Structure 1
Amino acid sequence: MAWKFLLLCLVPLASAAVKFQETYSWNAMDWNYPDQASRQQAIQSGALIPENALPVGIERWRNKLFVSVPRWRPGIPATLNYIPLDAPYNPSPKLTPYPSWQGNELGNCESGLNTVYRIKADKCDRLWVLDTGTYGYDPNVTNLCPYALNVYDLKTDQRIRRYVFRPEDIVSTTFIANIAIDMGSSCDDTYAYFSDELGYGLIAYSWEQNKSWRFSHSYFMPDPLVGDFNIAGLNFQWGAEGIFGITLSPIGLDGFRTLYFSPLSSHTEFAVSTKILRDETKVTGSYKDFKVVGSRGPDGHTTSKVMDDGSFGVQLFNLIDQNAIGCWNSALSYKPQNIAIVDKDDVGMVFPVDIKIDDDRNVWMMSDRMPVFLEAELDYSDINFRIYTAPLDTLLQGTVCEPEPYRPAVIPPQQPLVPQAPQVPQVSQRLAPLRYPALAAVTASPLRPKLYSPTSVQSRPTFSSFSQNVIPKNNGYVSIDFPAQPSVSYFTNGPRSSKNLWW
């Protein structure tokens, strides 16, 4: 496709990122109106105010790159949008509403979308979108509609389901921004998980049952010792921010995945098997099924994470304090020595807000300078929003997260045959275990991703502890310093604030 050739030819612009390539950038966001007259009318009426738009979520499906823009301020014509990747290249493309302008109508609870944050496409060509039903941001938030899950058929661009969360799933402080999709043996055998950041809960939804239920746990709460943040020259406190970033491992030997999660105001990684989350009866009595995985160490706040759904079991996550993307190979224990920075840029990657891995194993990442947008003022003569991309293998190369290279077994020279009496093997010999048990488990399901063979690539998957749904043991950590890439730091000249941000 044309966009693939384009990405290979792109060179870094003003960014100092080493591995990520800057694909798109904007001073301010804009929309693709049918004609100039309708755009001018939208500006005059206040329906379009480009300076009020902040992109927060991305997702790639085939020839579409989705971008979400919450309605925190007036003048946001559409909250769910996309960029056509097969269109002629534009370094600052305008956004096209998805599924349509009418499908983004503010205040239309039945067929519109009010505010959307993170989005996720699955292998059954469905786009999962949670509409929070809100307009504005703290303390001036208006709840126009209830929390509702909207699922679209990406082949037809039609909504195929709308599910309103039950009153029992929502508390007075609920704020949901992240979603993870857990596909089993079929498209019907699919669950979705939603992290309630300010309500300190985790909501599970079954596609087949068309029903949701809510988990509560102390691991969903913030760490009171790490609520102070310093980003882009701003000092502020996000001390109340609970469970935020969530992602799923590949399917393990027992047929279930592991959900990894962390509160925003925390440096600690936690996990739970989806065997627990899929069972509504486990809402109570499952406290000990949630595990501590380990700590990222100082400056380890993260809001977005994603895990390779192939055989490598590598997790990528944003490090918002460090203007960087980190990685962890789940074959290793979770501690700073086993966590690496795959790329960093103190100019272009100020607040790397979202990160995804597509079906071609390309990584997409967006930065948006969110703290500056909320607490100071962006300079709209400068580039404020960027979307980067890079092959996953390129990002991992040379880091502790890189999978071990595959080394073929050495076959000894054939010995001359000597007639021997037949021997009956012992039971333990006849039942020798498979050399790669996880390989057999993965290949048993037609929905699981294609494995890489030694004839097609030069590395062999390293099967980690999560393949058996055994959470890695927390061995503690030792503080280490992460080296920074040379670049000119971005500092705002706007006022500093200690106000707790709502987003």
Structure 2
Amino acid sequence: MQKCLWFLLFVCSASVIGAGKLQVLYEWSWIDYLWESDAHKAAAITAGQYNYTKPVIIDVDVWKGRRKNYRNNVKTFITVIRRPGVPASLTTVSDHFGYGGPLLAPYPNWNWAVEGDCDGITSVFRVAIDECDRLWVLDTGKIEEEHVCPAQLLAFDLHTDRLLKRVKIPRSIARNTLTNQGLFVTPVVETEGVNCEKTHVYMADTTGNGLVIYNGTTLWRLESPAFAFQEAAANFTVAGDHFYLDDGVLGMALSPPVSPRENYRHLMLRPLASFDMVSAETSNLHQSHSAPVRYTLVSGALPSQAAGMAFSASGVLFFGLIQEHAIACWDMHKPIAPENIAIIDHDIAYYQFVSGVKVIPARITERHEELWIATNRYQKIALDVQNFNDVNFRVMSRRLDSLIRGTSCDSQSNLEHLFRDAEDTIWDYSHYLWNLANAEEYNQ
């Protein structure tokens, strides 16, 4: 009953609707790749390494070179869950088209996509691009339930596609200490300094209910009840289809600095199977290898589940609302309340499952911030009832200012209201430390 009341309040109070729809940039009925030759593709099919019904798009990100020799170098990254029948997980959209849609090219090349090669890339859910033009790749090392390789964090120079850093994540950090479960799904990168002298990478472990932090020299793991799924939120309804998914922490986003005087940020995170919103100050997280973490939790903050999230430079958080088939936003300068969550757009065909959400900064677009999303019909995948005559995957975008114009996200107020209505504060002492002097970490 409380959930129904929230929904009614939301429908009546939310700022509906934004100024216009997101525009479709790419769409696919099924996924095919830019093969080295027809023989290469035929061999992959024969060996069971490629089956057009298996690839599922999860995330998107985009980068454009700004240096003189790289100005025409534009990369649109697409991640695909690795499982039998999926030959490559980290890809870019090519200029070539197949019957299902634009062909995907493995990144950096096919040599990195060899199954079982732990010096390559196994399976990637999401990626992140930082202010120093580095692509951060969080590789689960898993194909379905099998740990084929150790989990790892990779960083590539986007100007040259050269590997800059590889951090192998030890099992004691990559998996839950009690359940032995672990699946890395989302990286978020925080940098400080003109040349990114300080870098922190936050990694969400959705099945192990954990958050792993890397500060350039050390890895450590945090575990908290705030990261766990909620049974009441594990039942999903999308476009009339019902399925069960008990994923823990998945959506994460890093706020801009809270003020010109204080440089710390908020890391927003939430389990997929949850209606709550959780926040922690990055200044606290930086010290969490040896000190407790203060998580602030707003219970029932959202009317339904949400996957990917991303902040704008002004502090507007964007996310998809799964059961509303909608794109929504919230201004962090206002309390989390139904009247402050704005529906930007909703469409039962286009927003059935918004998996990837990115705010592309003006330094990349060279014009203005843009919202990019990747959608899939996850409910059809979960129920194994995909129709490959339909469009199953889309990448969409639109400039931010036009999306939020006239909504509750189109203004700012005092930050003192952030989490004013928080119902719980958790001090968590669970941390597990791993110094990289004892792990495999190197620069190339």
Distance 1:70 1:223 in 2: 24
- Whether the 8 Å contact between 2:334 and 2:418 is mirrored in structure 1 is no
The C-alpha deviation readout for 1:117-143, integer Å capped at 9, x for no partner, is 00011111100001111112xxxx211
Aligned residues: 382
Given residue 37 of structure 1, which amino acid in structure 2 is its aligned partner? A
Given residue 419 of structure 2, which amino acid in structure 1 is its aligned partner? P
Correspondences of 1:6-17 after superposition (within 5 Å): none
Distance 1:76 1:217 in 2: 33
* Residue among 297, 302, 305 paired with 1:292: 297
Distance 1:475 1:165 in 2: 34
- 1:255 and 2:263 are equivalent in the alignment: yes
Query: Aligned to 1:43, what secondary structure does the other structure show?
Result: helix
Given residue 34 of structure 2, which amino acid in structure 1 is its aligned partner? N
Structure 1 partner of 2:107: 98
Distance 1:294 1:328 in 2: 16
The C-alpha deviation readout for 1:55-114, integer Å capped at 9, x for no partner, is 111111111110011113x22121100015xx589993100110110011111112x111
Query: Aligned to 1:49, what secondary structure does the other structure show?
Result: coil
The C-alpha deviation readout for 1:196-219, integer Å capped at 9, x for no partner, is 112111111012x2x211112221
Structure 2 partner of 1:430: none
Indicate the structure whose relative CO is greater, using CA pairs within 8 Å and at least 6 residues apart: 2
Correspondences of 1:136-151 after superposition (within 5 Å): 136=144, 141-151=145-155
Structure 1 partner of 2:248: 242
Stretches of structure 1 that go unaligned for 5 or more consecutive residues are 1-16, 404-461, 477-503
Change (3 A) 1:149 1:281: closer
Structure 1 partner of 2:419: 472
* Residue among 345, 348, 351 paired with 1:346: 348
Distance 2:124 2:29 in 1: 22
Given residue 71 of structure 1, which amino acid in structure 2 is its aligned partner? R
* Residue among 162, 166, 178 paired with 2:186: 178
Correspondences of 1:74-473 after superposition (within 5 Å): 74-84=84-94, 87=95, 92-110=101-119, 112-136=120-144, 141-169=145-173, 170-171=175-176, 172-185=180-193, 186-207=195-216, 209=217, 211-238=218-245, 240-252=246-258, 253-282=261-290, 284-286=291-293, 289-293=294-298, 295-298=300-303, 300-308=304-312, 310=313, 312-360=314-362, 361-403=369-411, 462=412, 464-465=414-415, 471-473=418-420
Query: Aligned to 1:276, what secondary structure does the other structure show?
Result: helix
More strand by share: 2
- Whether the 8 Å contact between 2:309 and 2:319 is mirrored in structure 1 is yes
TM-score calculated relative to the size of structure 2:
0.81
User: 4+ residue runs of structure 1 moved beyond 6 angstroms?
Assistant: 88-91
Distance 1:105 1:278 in 2: 36
Distance 2:422 2:82 in 1: 43
Given residue 219 of structure 2, which amino acid in structure 1 is its aligned partner? S
Overall identity of the aligned pairs, in %: 29
Distance 1:340 1:104 in 2: 41
Distance 1:167 1:36 in 2: 39
- Whether the 8 Å contact between 1:152 and 1:159 is mirrored in structure 2 is yes
C-alpha displacement of 1:241 = 2.3
Given residue 131 of structure 1, which amino acid in structure 2 is its aligned partner? D
Distance 2:112 2:123 in 1: 12
- Whether the 8 Å contact between 2:266 and 2:282 is mirrored in structure 1 is yes
- Whether the 8 Å contact between 2:332 and 2:418 is mirrored in structure 1 is no
Q: Give RMSD over aligned pairs.
A: 2.1
Given residue 148 of structure 2, which amino acid in structure 1 is its aligned partner? L
Structure 1 partner of 2:431: none
Change (3 A) 1:471 1:395: same
Given residue 205 of structure 1, which amino acid in structure 2 is its aligned partner? Y
Q: Computing the radius of gyration over CA atoms, which structure comes out larger, 1 or 2?
A: 1
C-alpha displacement of 1:148 = 0.6
Distance 1:463 1:107 in 2: 52
- Whether the 8 Å contact between 1:271 and 1:471 is mirrored in structure 2 is no
Distance 1:233 1:226 in 2: 16
TM-score calculated relative to the size of structure 1:
0.72
The C-alpha deviation readout for 1:387-443, integer Å capped at 9, x for no partner, is 11111111111211112xxxxxxxxxxxxxxxxxxxxxxxxxxxxxxxxxxxxxxxx
Distance 1:78 1:35 in 2: 16
Distance 1:241 1:34 in 2: 37
Stretches of structure 2 that go unaligned for 5 or more consecutive residues are 1-18, 65-73, 363-368, 424-444
Structure 2 partner of 1:71: 82
- Whether the 8 Å contact between 2:139 and 2:184 is mirrored in structure 1 is no
Distance 1:297 1:124 in 2: 33
- Whether the 8 Å contact between 2:34 and 2:96 is mirrored in structure 1 is no
Query: Aligned to 1:182, what secondary structure does the other structure show?
Result: strand
Given residue 215 of structure 2, which amino acid in structure 1 is its aligned partner? S
